[in-house]
Chains A and B, each alone.
Chain A
Amino acid sequence: MDASRVREEGTVGTLTEFWFDGMTEAIRETLARLGAADGRVGLDLSHPGAAQIAPGMLTASEYLDLQSKLPGAKLENGTRWIDDVMLIKSPAEIARLKQAALVSDIGFRAGLAAVRPGVTENHVAGVIEQAIRDHGSTWAWAITGARKSGADHGPDFSAGSPSRPPTAHSGATSSSSSTCTR
C-alpha cells in the first residue's frame, strides 16, 4: 500500500518493496546485490545535539538489526548528507510551504478571535484545528493548552489536559500554534 503511494506521488527511480518488518532485510539484500554490504552506509539516525528525532528516522532496534545483518559495513549517521539534499528548497517546495503558511495564518486568526475570558485553551486549539483542516491542512498540532509552559500555574498532562484544560484568563499568554510538527 505504501509502495504504491510512493510510486504514485514520489520521484523515486528504483523502489524496493518490503512487507511488515522486512525493511532491514531489504536493505541487506539491496546492498549485497550492489556489492556495497561492506562499505560505508549512511543511516537516517538523528541530528547531533537535537533533542528529538524526526518521523522516518531509524529506531534503535532497526539500527541493531542492521548492525547484525551487515557485519562488514561501516554504519554512519547520514543525516547530514540527507539534509544537504534538502537544505535549499525548490520552487515547487516553496509553493507548498507558502500555502501551508497561508493556511496557518487562517488558523491563527480563527484562534485569536476565539480567545476571551472563560473559554478553555482546549477549545481554542479545536477552533484552530478546524480552521486549518477546512482550508486543506491534513494535520494539526495545536499546542494551545497542551501543557504547562511557564505561562502560569496551568495544569500539566497529569493534571488532566485536555480533560481539565486551562481556562483563558486575564494576564495569561498562550501560544496559538497551527499546522505544526511533532
Chain B
Amino acid sequence: MIDLYLADTSIPVFLGKPSARQAAMIDCWEDVAATMLAGLTPGRPIAECVKEGIATFAKHGFSDFSLPLFGHGLGTCARTRPFLNLRSDDVVQPGMVVALGTHLYVPDAGGMRLEFPAMITERGAEPLVETPPKVHRVAA
C-alpha cells in the first residue's frame, strides 16, 4: 500500500518438480491468466471476457476446481468495480485498473491464485508489475 493505493499482487511459486497432474494444472492456470489478460480490451463487456476465462478452464478439464471469478477493480479499495464475473454489466474502459484473478484449487494436488494489477489502456491490459503471471519454479 502506497499512499492508500494497493497493489494486491499474488503470484504462485512451485517448489520442486510437479507431478503430471500438477503440470497440467499449471498449464491450465497460465493459459487462463494469459487469456484473461489478452481479452481485456476497451469496448468489450466484462462478462464476455469472463466467459473466455471459464471456457479456458473447461478446455483443460478443470472447471470443477476453478472459480468463475477473475478479479476486481483496484484503487484505495479492492472491493470495487469492475468486478470480473458473469454478473458484471461494466464495459472495459481505458483508465480502469483491475486486479486480475485466476483461481484453481485441486484438493491434494495444489492451489494457485493470481492477483495481478493491470491498467486498461487503448491497447488493452498493461501489467503494472514486472513479475509475469506465471507459476514461478524453485528447485527443491
Asked if A and B bind, the verdict is yes
Q: Measured between alpha carbons, how far is A152 from B12 in the docked complex, in Å?
A: 14
Q: In chain B between 19 and 74, which residues have their CB closer than 8 angstroms to a CB of chain A?
A: 19, 22, 65, 73-74
Q: Measured between alpha carbons, how far is A115 from B83 in the docked complex, in Å?
A: 32
Tally of A-B residue pairs with Cβ under 8 A?
201
**Nearest CB of B to A112, in Å:** 6
Binds B, one of A23-31, A34-42, A47-55, A64-72: A47-55
Q: Flag if B140 contacts A47 (CB, 8 Å).
A: no
Known: A54-B79, A101-B9. A137 touches B2 (CB 8 A): yes
Q: Measured between alpha carbons, how far is A143 from B111 in the docked complex, in Å?
A: 13
**Nearest CB of B to A45, in Å:** 12
* Cβ contact of A86, chosen from B9, B80, B115, B136, cutoff 8 A: B80
Q: Flag if B5 contacts A96 (CB, 8 Å).
A: yes
Q: Flag if A50 contacts B83 (CB, 8 Å).
A: yes
Q: How many residues of A contact B (CB 8 A)?
A: 60
**Nearest CB of B to A78, in Å:** 13
Question: Does B125 lie at the interface of the complex (its beta carbon under 8 Å from any beta carbon of A)?
Answer: no
List residues of chain A with CB within 8 A of the CB of B81: 47, 80, 83, 86-87
* Cβ contact of A94, chosen from B7, B85, B97, B110, cutoff 8 A: B97
Question: Does A98 lie at the interface of the complex (its beta carbon under 8 Å from any beta carbon of B)?
Answer: yes
Q: Flag if B6 contacts A181 (CB, 8 Å).
A: yes
Question: Does A165 lie at the interface of the complex (its beta carbon under 8 Å from any beta carbon of B)?
Answer: no
Q: Measured between alpha carbons, how far is A107 from B80 in the docked complex, in Å?
A: 24
Indicate the member of B15, B78, B94 with the most A CB atoms within 10 Å. Answer: B15
Q: Flag if B16 contacts A172 (CB, 8 Å).
A: yes
Q: Measured between alpha carbons, how far is A171 from B94 in the docked complex, in Å?
A: 40
Q: Flag if B83 contacts A47 (CB, 8 Å).
A: yes
> Which label, helix, strand, loop or mixed, suits the secondary structure of the A interface?
loop
List residues of chain B with CB within 8 A of the CB of A150: 65, 105-107, 109-111
Band of interface residues on B = 35 or more
* Cβ contact of B17, chosen from A109, A115, A153, A171, cutoff 8 A: A171
Known: A50-B83, A168-B15, A172-B110. A97 touches B7 (CB 8 A): yes
Q: Flag if B113 contacts A175 (CB, 8 Å).
A: yes
List residues of chain A with CB within 8 A of the CB of B131: 105, 108-109
Q: Flag if A149 contacts B128 (CB, 8 Å).
A: no
Q: Flag if B1 contacts A171 (CB, 8 Å).
A: no
Q: Measured between alpha carbons, how far is A115 from B110 in the docked complex, in Å?
A: 17
Known: A137-B1, A139-B1, A150-B106. A101 touches B93 (CB 8 A): no
Q: Flag if A87 contacts B96 (CB, 8 Å).
A: yes
What are 22 residue pairs bridging A and B, where the CB atoms are less than 8 Å apart in the complex? A47-B79, A55-B77, A87-B95, A97-B6, A97-B74, A97-B128, A99-B3, A102-B130, A107-B9, A109-B131, A112-B138, A115-B138, A138-B1, A150-B105, A169-B16, A175-B12, A176-B10, A176-B12, A178-B9, A179-B6, A181-B6, A181-B78
Task: Please give the residue numbers on chain B whose beta carbons come within 8 Å of chain A beta carbons, in ascending order.
Answer: 1-19, 22, 65, 73-75, 77-83, 85, 87, 90, 93-97, 105-113, 115, 117, 119, 128-131, 135-136, 138, 140
